[in-house]
């Protein structure tokens, strides 16, 4: 006599701060069958869905579910299309989910039965977070375009509270905070740092980044600083040493590093999706008509200082440190309108990073490997989609991640998460990544300085 087939049930969730509501739902799911599979959403997938405030890491949430004796298997959900794939892979009979999603997953009825389960009223992870967690109070240095966007994007991160703003011009500060919930404005950095803030975001002109970051770290404040974080390599190394000594977080605001699709892209490459990487090409250009804008000012403007961090980030994350660097630039009135940075890496791989403020080009990126290539359409630095393509044109893998805002909210979420969890370094943008990117930009600044002399 054949043994009766087990009825397999699958369900998914974030399960942040595991509570009675989660437990009740999981128990109801198990009662529908004999074998329960629980999919725990990864942090990056949650961020792609707009959930920017998860308190616990993916690893910690997985471990909490694994400890439940009525759960038979735990998997990690990493992308939007995974549910249908998992259902087929594991031979699932029933997909179960909370009734706040009624109708949302009816498309899965093609593969199995879909059941919407009642949730426990009066409790949620969001409610618990609001009750027990304090906000990270952030002070902003700068009142320009990027600072305004930062404040707007911070509104989507529950853990962040913009408390104050500082600029040398108090009228700019007053204009900046008018109509916002920001409580305090300063025109003096000493007074600004004496205020009760946990962290500082720096969006001042490039030449002020190093000294302001240093002062903030010396005052015991975590720092998120716009790129380039320093104009000389020795200054960045000094900041890292100071952050390490004071047990503080120091992150450069290269927003691409924190977007969900960019993180998934790196995972596909590390899993060998296109074989050994031979070349990385990336272009970032923008037209700036206002000749009084900082990008046109000497000696700290130009395409390389303004945009170079992005393609160099891609090269560093995929190929590692550059062994040799060559610049092909176009300079006008002491400012580089365009620059092509060609680097050689280990195993003979090459990266070509093209930046420009004087002419517009297609802002895509291509990563070439021995088995195929990855194409990231423009604007690649706001990574939403990427495609893995092979010699056979009928073979192509497509990846799409929802991208909200202009990307800044993801770096704010990462910054606040590091502070909350006491993790001083971000795996998405490590200090060694920042040092390597800065080494190349610093080398170019030295070149420009020498040409000027």
Cβ contacts of 189-193, under 8 Å, gap ≥ 24: 189/141, 189/215, 192/139, 192/141, 192/164, 192/166, 193/139, 193/219, 193/221
Of 252, 285, 201, 275, nearest to 425 by C-alpha is 252
Q: Are residues 18 and 67 in the same domain?
A: yes
| Residue 408 located in a structural domain | no
- Domain extent at residue 297: 260-402
pLDDT for the residue 433 = 97
User: Domain end: 364, 386, 402, which one?
Assistant: 402
Q: Are residues 155 and 195 in the same domain?
A: yes
| Residue 411 located in a structural domain | no
| Residue 74 located in a structural domain | yes
> In angstroms, rounded to a whole number, what is the distance separating the alpha carbons of residues 313 and 315?
5
Q: Are residues 269 and 386 in the same domain?
A: yes
| Residue 445 located in a structural domain | no
Q: Domain count of the chain? A: 3
Contact yes or no for 153/406 (Cβ under 8 A)? yes
User: Domain end: 255, 289, 304, which one?
Assistant: 255
pLDDT for the residue 4 = 67
CATH of the domain at 235: 3.40.50.720
The angle that helices 431-452 and 233-245 make with each other, rounded to 10 degrees, is: 150
> In angstroms, rounded to a whole number, what is the distance separating the alpha carbons of residues 309 and 324?
17
Strand 250-252 to 222-225 pairing: parallel
Q: Are residues 162 and 247 in the same domain?
A: yes
Of 443, 432, 416, nearest to 156 by C-alpha is 416
Q: Are residues 18 and 112 in the same domain?
A: yes
CATH of the domain at 34: 3.40.50.620
User: Domain end: 110, 127, 144, which one?
Assistant: 127
Q: Are residues 208 and 145 in the same domain?
A: yes
| Residue 174 located in a structural domain | yes
pLDDT for the residue 131 = 47
Q: Are residues 50 and 165 in the same domain?
A: no
Q: Are residues 244 and 311 in the same domain?
A: no
For the whole model, what pTM was predicted? 0.82
| Residue 3 located in a structural domain | no
Residues 6+ apart with CB under 8 A from 443: 325
The total number of residues shown for the chain amounts to 453
| Residue 420 located in a structural domain | no
Q: Are residues 243 and 269 in the same domain?
A: no
| Residue 452 located in a structural domain | no
Residues 6+ apart with CB under 8 A from 309: 227, 228, 252, 254, 437, 441
Q: Are residues 217 and 280 in the same domain?
A: no
Q: Are residues 271 and 395 in the same domain?
A: yes
The four Cα atoms 239, 241, 244, 246 give a dihedral, to 10 degrees, of -70
pLDDT for the residue 402 = 76
pLDDT digit string (tens) for the chain, length 453 residues = 455 689 999 999 999 888 888 999 999 999 999 999 999 999 888 887 777 777 788 898 999 999 999 999 999 998 878 999 999 999 999 999 998 899 999 999 999 999 999 887 666 555 555 545 678 999 999 999 999 999 999 998 988 999 999 999 999 999 999 989 999 999 999 999 999 999 999 999 999 999 999 999 999 999 999 999 999 999 999 999 999 999 999 999 999 999 988 988 999 999 999 999 999 999 999 998 877 777 788 778 899 999 999 999 999 999 999 999 999 999 988 889 999 999 999 999 999 999 999 889 999 999 999 999 999 999 999 998 999 999 998 888 888 887 778 889 999 999 998 998 887 778 899 999 999 999 999 999 888 877 765
């Amino acid at each position: 006599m054949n043994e009766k087939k087990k009825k397999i049930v699958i369900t998914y969730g974030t399960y942040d701060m595991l509570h009675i509501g989660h437990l009740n739902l999981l128990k109801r799911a198990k009662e529908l069958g004999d074998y329960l599979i629980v999919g725990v959403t990864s942090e990056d997938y949650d961020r792609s869905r707009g959930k920017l405030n998860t308190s616990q890491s993916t690893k910690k949430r997985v471990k909490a579910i694994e400890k439940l004796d009525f759960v038979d298997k735990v998997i990690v959900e990493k992308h939007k299309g995974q549910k249908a794939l998992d259902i087929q892979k594991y031979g699932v009979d029933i997909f179960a989910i909370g009734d706040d999603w009624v109708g949302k997953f009816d498309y899965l009825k093609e593969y199995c039965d879909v059941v919407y389960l009642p949730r426990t009223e009066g409790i949620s992870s969001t409610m618990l977070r609001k009750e027990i967690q304090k906000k990270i109070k952030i002070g902003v240095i700068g009142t320009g375009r990027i600072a305004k966007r930062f404040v707007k994007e911070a509104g989507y991160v529950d853990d962040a509270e913009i408390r104050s703003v500082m600029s040398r011009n108090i009228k700019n500060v007053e204009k900046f905070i008018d109509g916002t919930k920001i409580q305090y404005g300063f025109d003096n950095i000493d007074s600004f740092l004496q205020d009760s803030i946990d962290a500082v975001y720096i969006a001042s002109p490039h030449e002020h980044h190093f000294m302001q970051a240093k002062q903030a770290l010396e005052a015991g404040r975590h720092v998120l600083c716009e790129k380039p974080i320093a104009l000389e390599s020795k200054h960045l190394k000094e900041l890292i040493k100071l952050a390490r000594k004071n047990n503080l977080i120091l992150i450069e605001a290269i927003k691409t590093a924190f977007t969900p699709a960019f993180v998934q892209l790196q995972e596909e490459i590390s899993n060998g999706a296109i074989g050994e990487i031979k070349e990385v090409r990336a272009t970032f250009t923008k037209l700036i008509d206002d000749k009084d804008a900082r990008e046109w000012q000497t000696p700290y403007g130009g395409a390389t200082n303004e945009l170079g961090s992005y393609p160099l980030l891609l090269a560093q994350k995929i190929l590692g440190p550059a062994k040799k660097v060559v610049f092909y630039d176009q300079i006008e009135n002491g400012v580089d309108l365009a620059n092509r940075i060609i680097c050689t890496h280990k195993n003979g791989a090459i990266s070509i990073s093209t930046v420009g403020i004087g002419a517009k080009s297609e802002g895509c990126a291509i990563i070439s490997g021995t088995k195929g290539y990855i194409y990231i359409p423009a604007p690649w630095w706001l990574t939403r989609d990427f495609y893995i393509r092979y010699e056979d044109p009928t073979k192509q893998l497509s990846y799409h991640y929802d991208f909200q805002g202009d990307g800044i909210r993801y770096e704010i979420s990462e910054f606040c998460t590091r502070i909350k969890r006491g993790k001083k370094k971000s795996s998405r943008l490590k200090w060694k990544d920042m040092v390597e990117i800065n080494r190349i930009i610093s080398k170019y600044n030295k070149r420009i300085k020498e040409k000027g002399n």
